[in-house]
Amino acid sequence: MVPVRIFVSYSHDDEKWKDRLVSHLRVLERQGAAAIWDTSELPAGADWSQEIEKAIRRSDIAVLLISPSFLASDFIVTKELPALLKRRQNEGLAILSVLVRPSMWSAVPQIAELQFANDPSQPLSSASEADRDTVYAAVSQRIADLVQAVAQRAASPATAETIGDQSEAQKTRSIFGAVPRGHIFISHAKDDGDFAELLKLKLEREGHDAWVDSDRLDPGLDWRSEIDQAVRDAVAVLAIMSPEARASEYVTYEWAFAWGCGTKVIPIMLKQTTLHPRLATLQYLDFTNRIARPWDRLFGVLSGFVDPVRK
């Protein structure tokens, strides 16, 4: 088994936080599941800038330790972060953020759009010393789950039966590049229909045209051909995830067909569930907390590549 390569991006002011996280992740290295790289791996006398660039090119996962020092680092902001985001955009590099200390991360759109391994309202520094290992263990488990998903993706390449043929142009399609104006396709299990309708309503209030299959598919129609066309015409597919959706043939078909077509897929975690290995490598939005659902973050993500029509 080839280990999944993890690149840790951090400020040296946060070295103690990095060291503690890496100590939790060492079990993955002992198992041969992962290889962790951070700047402590730099050999003496090496050109550190070139070595970092090389490590970024080789990485399968990037973990960002966010803090005021991280955001203030010229090298991170102008070199590391753009290189990582470019690989995420062009090659699907999986990136997880960990909020180490309170900071203005939400003011940086590129970071605000990323998935966090911990709750951004509770940075690592806010945990008591007695509780800190519990928090690190939870963060490490999120990273371990992503390692497993990336490994499974590498071991199970896409086939026409699962997600359709995907051209090189589709694989490297820009996540935030310009795309033709179109609707947003909402994929959901029957049990999640109420939330799908709420999502549709909120999208339309923001000026987007939303497509839910319960709206358009009349009895007797060939659902697969209708779905195929709706996905092809969409600028994005919002996949509402729940245990019911995970088990649904229809939901799996919809997001998988979208992936194969090169249509942007955004998972929305409505009810906690394990994700298909392919979806697990994408940044999902956590809507499991009914009180604090990140609607603004969803609209912000969509505004990066969808041009809403104001009515």
Q: What is the pLDDT of residues 34-84, one digit of tens each?
A: 999 988 877 767 688 888 999 999 999 999 999 999 999 999 999 999 999
According to DSSP, the β-strands at 285-286 and 94-99 are unpaired
Q: Using CB atoms within 10 Å of the CB of residue 215, give its burial: 0 to 12 exposed, 13 to 18 middle, 19+ buried.
A: exposed
**Does 22 have pLDDT greater than 50?**
yes
- Count of C-beta atoms within a 10 Å radius of residue 261: 19
What is the pLDDT at residue 223?
A: 55
- 140 and 273 assigned to the same domain: no
Instruction: Assess contact for 117 and 21: CB atoms under 8 A.
Output: no
Q: Using CB atoms within 10 Å of the CB of residue 297, give its burial: 0 to 12 exposed, 13 to 18 middle, 19+ buried.
A: middle
Tokens in use for 45? 């006398």
- 61 and 91 assigned to the same domain: yes
Does the residue 162 lie in any domain?
no
Does the residue 161 lie in any domain?
no
Does the residue 246 lie in any domain?
yes
- 59 and 148 assigned to the same domain: yes
159 vs 264, which has greater pLDDT? 264
CA of residue 147 relative to chain centroid, distance? 13
**Domain enclosing residue 220, as ranges:** 168-303
- 35 and 132 assigned to the same domain: yes
What is the pLDDT at residue 156?
A: 56
Does the residue 55 lie in any domain?
yes
- 135 and 19 assigned to the same domain: yes
- 138 and 232 assigned to the same domain: no
What is the pLDDT at residue 170?
A: 35
What is the pLDDT at residue 269?
A: 94
**Does 95 have pLDDT greater than 70?**
yes
What is the pLDDT at residue 65?
A: 96
Give the integer Cα–Cα distance in Å for 124 and 139.
10
**Does 178 have pLDDT greater than 70?**
no
- 86 and 107 assigned to the same domain: yes
CATH number at residue 275: 3.40.50.10140
Q: Give mean pLDDT, residues 216-243.
A: 74
* Cα pseudo-dihedral 144, 149, 153, 155, rounded to 10: 60
From the list 102, 93, 97, the residue with the least C-alpha distance to 115 is 97
Q: How high is the mean pLDDT of the chain?
A: 81
From the list 219, 214, 217, the residue with the least C-alpha distance to 193 is 214
- 176 and 117 assigned to the same domain: no
What is the pLDDT at residue 225?
A: 66
Tokens in use for 239? 């996949």
Instruction: Assess contact for 278 and 271: CB atoms under 8 A.
Output: no
- 230 and 180 assigned to the same domain: yes
List Cα–Cα distances, 293 to 205, 264, 270, 285, 298, in angstroms. 17, 21, 9, 9, 9
Say how many Å lie between the first and final Cα of the chain, rounded: 54
Give the integer Cα–Cα distance in Å for 92 and 199.
26
Does the residue 21 lie in any domain?
yes
Q: Domain count for the chain, please give it.
A: 2
What is the pLDDT at residue 175?
A: 30
From the list 280, 8, 56, 283, the residue with the least C-alpha distance to 148 is 280
Which residue, 155, 178, 200, sits at the end of a domain? 155
- 250 and 222 assigned to the same domain: yes
Percent with pLDDT over 90 in the chain: 37
Give the integer Cα–Cα distance in Å for 228 and 261.
9
Instruction: Work out the pLDDT band at 169, boundaries 50, 70, 90.
Output: very low
Does the residue 308 lie in any domain?
no
Does the residue 160 lie in any domain?
no
What is the pLDDT at residue 99?
A: 93
The pTM (predicted TM-score) of the whole model is 0.58
Which residue, 99, 120, 155, sits at the end of a domain? 155
Q: What is the DSSP letter of 234?
A: -
Instruction: Work out the pLDDT band at 193, boundaries 50, 70, 90.
Output: confident
Which residue, 111, 133, 155, sits at the end of a domain? 155
What is the pLDDT at residue 303?
A: 79
- 176 and 285 assigned to the same domain: yes
Does the residue 309 lie in any domain?
no
Q: Give mean pLDDT, residues 138-165.
A: 68
219 vs 205, which has greater pLDDT? 205
- 177 and 151 assigned to the same domain: no
Q: Give mean pLDDT, residues 6-29.
A: 95
Give the integer Cα–Cα distance in Å for 287 and 97.
18
276 vs 81, which has greater pLDDT? 81
